[in-house]
Amino acid sequence: MMHTMSGNMYWHHITYMYLYPTIVGLLILAGIVYLIYWLFAKQDVSLKKQSPLEILKLRYAKGEITEKQLQQMKKQLQEKG
C-alpha cells in the first residue's frame, strides 16, 4: 500500500513541476503570437480601406516620399483612371 501511495505522489509531483508550467508557457506563447497576428492583420485592413491617393498622402506626410514624387505619382494615378 505504501508503494502505491508514493507512486501516486510521484506522478502528482511530476504534473506540478513539468506539465502545468509547460501548459502555461504554451498559452502565453500562443497569446503573444495571436497579438502579433492581430496587430499586423489590423494594419493590413486599414491600408486596404484607403484609396491609392490617401496612401500617397500618408507616405508624403511620413516623409517616405518627396513632394516631387507625390506629384508624379498623383499624375500617374489620374492617368490610370
* pLDDT score recorded for residue 74: 93
Encode pLDDT of 42-73 as tens digits: 765 555 678 888 999 999 999 999 999 999 99
CB 35 within 8 Å of CB 43: no
Whether the predicted pLDDT of 2 surpasses 50: no
Q: d(Cα 46, Cα 48) in Å, to the nearest integer?
A: 5
Please report, for the chain, the start and end positions of each structural domain, with discontinuous segments joined by +. Answer: 1-48, 50-81
